[in-house]
Structure 1
Amino acid sequence: MSTAVDFAARLIDPAAIAAAGHSAVLAYVAPSRPGANFGAKPITAEYARALAAAGLDVVSIWQYGKPGNATPSDWTTGFDGGRRMAEQALSTHLSVGGPRQAPIFFAVDEDISLAQWNQTAVEFFRGVNAVLGTEWTGIYGHSRVCAWAIEDNVVGRRGDFSWVWQTRAWSGTEREPRAVLYQRIIDTPSNPGPLIDGTHVDVNDVLAPDFGQWNLDRSVPIPQFTELDRLGPSHSSRDGARITNFLLHTQEGNGTAESLAAYLNNPANGVSYHYTLRDAIVVRVVPEELASWSVLSANPFTVNLCFAGSRVAWSRAAWLAIDDDLRIAAYLAVRSAHRHGYSTAVIAPDYHVGDGIADHQYVTRALGIGTHTDVGPNFPWDVFAGYVAAFAGTAPNAIDDRAAASPWLGARRTDGELATPDGVGRFAEFEHGYVYWHPDTDAHAIPTAIMTKYAELGWEAGPLGYPVAEHTELPDPRGTGPGLAQTFQGGTVYRRAGQPGYRVHGAIGARWSAAGFEKGELGWPASDEITHDDGVYQEFEFGRIYWVPEQILALRNSGDPDTPLERPA
């Protein structure tokens, strides 16, 4: 069994850790709390590279506050605290080289009760989920808190395991079988842990092949399929119900995805599904925001997909013969779960009641509604669950994660994500903006006010490229409200309240920065760059900046002629 160490006092020589027989370091992405001065909090990019060079895996952990300290335990700060700390954790994690597709473990470093979990701690983790997504949220704690986190679906799952790191403290003899890590040796003043490079460490057993290490490729290609809209009248309101399950169905007939959709679109037939699927053709019959007519009184809280041409009597071999469609169904289920915030757990026979992905028979046997038995006894749940686990970690879900962390976006307008023309990026439209994702830039939300300029310049295919940061509000004492700025690969868009947005970049952007941005002598941008003789210039509120090769000149409007601005010292 391989082992990992965790420590906070100082950065320990990576070669010494490897020589001691350990294979990984559980590294803090949290800063030292006030009054403390831990040398290993947070990890640095340089140290992370040194660990990798020594052949050591790295896993990210967060703990800021501590019981009995002036800074309260993290879990006591509730939803807002979880969201705030997750934003800081993710920022540090990415800045030091951690991949987006890796969990961050958040510590519950004391013996909390079930009442404390239900009243406060679970809300802290839901706040973390709003930033990281459930799939990338992990927990450290005693055996019971790990089990509660799994039960409440606030930590991610990887096959038979979950992102839980159990400590021996307060656990007694209990072991959480779904944990990926177990803290077996705990360094205390009365019982010091092993000494490595002059520093005592905690020792953890690695229990799963994927325990959250940075260098593991968790990306999975999105399956190729054609999605058609054949929306019809066979639906009802959800009446405010929260969606909790994605359900699979068989047709018990020989239809295609499109012929079955046509049948469903006749309200007289009294049945419908959100999706039909066959031979990589997906037909959308009912928007997910509405209830389909699929599972009687379970309709308000379910999303339903039917495999066209399928039957309950199919053998396992018959199901495996449509493996591509199984993968597509798994992807659609995960896409829906991330969109609406329910679990991607696969609930297979022998069922239990809960959020997740199941079939029509789940409604019959677990919920006691109706008599249907599809998708049948030979459905390959093991294969399907493997696809779900893989797609639950695909990068395009970062769009859903960013949307959850940006409630100002409002209602979603795009059903899922759309591919950008380069075939690499993805985007989704919302009521008050868009979210764009690319593997090199991650996902960022663009408000409508900035989006107008982005569209004018050709979206991601234009000179701006993809967004690389979230937008910022800029106070404007001379204006009618705060302005906006957002940085892209090819420059920054600035938009003053009530005015058009303009792109600032390159040498002119650097000169404007040196002059103090919008608060400086030149004020706000008043145009894009304009071609002039052998160079370009750009208008600003109180002047211009001219650029020709190897020369740049900033002028402030002050009559005729204008006054050159001196460069800052």
Structure 2
Amino acid sequence: MTTRPVHSTFRVSSGFRTPERPDHDGIDIAAPVGTPIFAPVDGVIVEGAERLAGSVSGFGNWVWLDAQDGHGVDLIFGHMRHASILVKRGDRVREGEQIASVGSEGQSTGPHVHFEVWGPPGRIGGEPRNPQDFLQGAVDPGTQPGPDLDGSAPEAFPLPRGFFYGPLEGPASSISGRHGSERPEWIAGLKRWQQARGLPQTGVYDQATADAARTVQFANGLTPDGLIGPSTWRAGFTSSSPGERPPRLQLVDHAAARPGAQAVKADGYHGAVRYLVDSPERGLINKKLTPEEAAGYLGLEMPLVSNWQKGKNATADWRRGFDGGVADAEAADAWHRHCGGPAEAPIFFSIDDDLSLAEWNSMAAHYLRGVASVLGKQRVGAYCKYLACDWAVEDDVVGTCRDGSGKRFLWQPNTWLGGRPLGTISEHACLFQRLIHPRDNIKVAGINVDVNDTLTADFGQWQYATQPVTPDPVVVPDPISVREPDGYDIAWHAGPGSRSGHGPYKRIYLHTTENQDWISRAENVADGQAARRDGSYHYIVDDSRIIQTVSTKNASWSVPVRDVNDENQVSVHIALVGTSGAIPRWTTNPSPNVESNPKKRSVWLEHDKMLDMVAFTIATVSKEHHIPIERVDIAGVGNDVHGVSSHNNYTYGSVKLRGFKDGTHWDVPDTFPYDVVLAAAKQYAAIPDDPDRFPLPNGHYWGPLSGPQESWSNRFGNEPQASKDGLRRWQSALGIAPTSVYDDATRDAATAMQKAKGWPVTGHVYAGEWYGVIKDGWRLPNPAAVLLGTRKITNATGPGHTDQFGMAATDLGVMTRTPSGRILAVFGDTFRDPMVGGDDWRSPVALYSDSTNLDNGIVWHEAAGADPNYARQLWPYDHVGGTTALPSDVITIGQDIYLHVMINEGLGNVVRTEIWTSSDNGKSWRPTGAQFDAGLHNGFAQLWTWERDTDGWVYVFSTGFQRDKGIILRRVRQDRITDPGAYIGWGWRDGRWNWGNPPTPVLESQPSAEKFGEMCLRRIQNKWVLVNFDASTTGGYDIDLRLLDTPTDNLYVVPKTTPIRGSAWGEEGNDRVAQLYGPCIIPGSTLDAGLHLLVSQWKTTDGWPYRAMHFKVPVR
């Protein structure tokens, strides 16, 4: 018998030696990345995982199977990812055994398996044969004849031809067991299938049944749609064939109690993953493995794996960073050995959260590095979500399975899959938590358990290690606790000097003021600095209070002030009132303390409240400016490591960092209890903030850029994101443009509130104005009038508008709000004089606007790039042969801006698209490396518009640039926006729309909704606004507007308005424009007061007008 390499539902996309490809010695079978590939017959591996990744010419990677004995053929499988190859040279494989997974490596245009068959004597010296002849009569993987679980033959599929078990909301052919009209034999059949899969026999198609179906489908190379048709039915009943590798083992993990090895085995499971620590604060006091329990598993020869997890959510272990990893690794290894665990066995540490990439980089990766500093990287395992498995491999922070599989010690749960179907498994994982409590409700001896599949021979089990050791006693460090879980007040105390502005935030430096212990006050220190003007700190902490004297948006004068690029510019400074020396008090000057006689650790610890306040202050700065709460010693300063250090460590580290020893300060010495303070700081950082707390320091306010340092305009460029997000929230609550900067509308709103409440009228937004709007619900009494019709406000480009920037002729103008709060507009083909084809052709170029009252027309204030007075091309390239890079859309995510451009070789001839990025508010740009073929999705992915949702997904509508196509929809996680492989399609398949399908046009082939040009998608006031140029043959040639609740709304039924229509030249008006295109929403637009748009116009016969115009249109 012969088994197909993948299921027959996957089509042959390229045949054997076709007229178009006479040199194609095999067939291509298109299938999604990760689809299992199976051995069609028994044989011996000639080449597999041992060959270097990417070293097989054309194929990238391959598996070569010698099946000459018995079958007279060699078989070749190509293009899989190297990490998915499960076999190596010399391995004997059996028919139906998985050998790899589908990929798209080497010279491949999409995911598929390339399959070749070679006659005697083999691939070297033999002749290629048509693989389709070889597969005549072959069966699908997992459907070969074999005994049922009770020894009988698999029964026939109980539903009529074309029917399947599926959801109630599916088509008529979907049998759910919930409708009430199903035949009894259909319900009985589903119950038998559920029984075979170990599920509750509900007789209805429920979530557990769908998940089990996907698991069966993944294991047998079937399409993982969760529906139960004939193939999934048979695969669900069929056991493994004789001679195959053993089926995947099933291990339980549990935290509520200890069922023991006997009970686990009695319920049909093979082993367990067991915790090495209790979590009493979560009520889990019988969670920890005991030596007796471990002996029970070992005595029954059941695999046992060690895992550590104590905290969860806000108290998660990984949030404690490197030092937390050190402490947990020491405690975990001690208990592991106490229970008889081998010295070589890995321990899995839980990253049990749907964390972001930023959280991974700032905390989780450091936590695992701390673990590795104790155990060694090879013994480090991680429980983490699908994407985090990739991050762990990229950062190389976990060990490698010792069975030659190439997999890593990664344990992946069947959740947090980023839109992928349940059952999707990372190619790097060695364990897969398939069934999870409470979702799947699995019990052993009445105890809730999760069920895990093993994915390779070495999944970290004790039995794989060879060096068991005598247990050592457990040494668990004393817990660190914070004194004030609600935190401390930080009082504002102005006076000491500072330098306006700040650079990137790298380090927090600790200082001592060298006053006598317990005597001086923080205010006295600040007043002395203000009088002498000889130094300053951002924060000063004594034994009873914290004061702030310099805003962190400015640089203090804490280390020697040498130039504008000195260490002050990249650091935040915290001073402890007291001395670093061993002599706490003295009566004569100068101080008797010297560096050779530092304060002892025990004396530092006497200042317990001061240290706790320092920890709180470190946590506050860390959360605001994303500085890691990690110790940075002298070497770390020299290597420019980010974290928490001291003036002492800077003095000595500056020798390497700056090339000379910068000063003589020796405060704070290394006797300081960093471990205690940083552990407490991490706990403070993990405490959730009050979401309605005033975001600025005490005594500060939102006000003009020209104000004192207490005034935050969000225009300087160095304000933290919390300030921008907070002001944007206040503006949105009042219904004014959410610009995130202090502008005229914000001043007027604050003034109106102050007058209404009888407060002093300043126009500034203090804590009182914040809480009045956010907590008390105060609103402006007179909302803006509703716009009744379209109105042209002004020409936005052209003579008198943009010629001062050398761009009298330009078009488009895709816009975003920069991280600093300005409007950035990126334009297309641009010329110095008012004529297309004139001198100084460049594209793209960009301008900034600080306009706040859009009803007066947008005004440009500066050009992006090195020259603020001339709009130069954003990056260098030549326009040879008509080559030009045209902007498609631009988006701001955090502190970065991303620009999607179309590379044209002649207008309309798109050869590829690219993503570029800027980290300095659009002044300079660099390529991200993300490129997309012009033919991607049949040419529907050339011209984009994109917008970010609050859940971290970026949604992308796109079409072709030829104005002859409909629209498709995709999405991507914001932290993977530059990864072309991370974009997920919204498509129609198997009778329903779903993410993960190839994208299907969401709007096409309708009158006045047939062909599309430029589009703009923006999220405004909790609605999604889609504006597009309609190039349709019938009823088109206009600007259309649709208001959506979600990007997946049915665009065929969403109401459409047409605020601007095309017209002939000479017949234009407020809502009529000749040769119009390229609409873009201007930041600051609102739905109730009217939407502001840029709309382009090009008189192609004359080359002028060629410009962008500003319109205000109603939203209905």
Say yes or no: TM over 0.5.
no
TM-score, normalised by the number of residues in structure 1: 0.37
Q: Which has the higher contact order (CA 8 A, sep 6+)?
A: 1
Q: TM-score, normalised by structure 2?
A: 0.19
Larger Rg: 2
Richer in helix (by share):
1
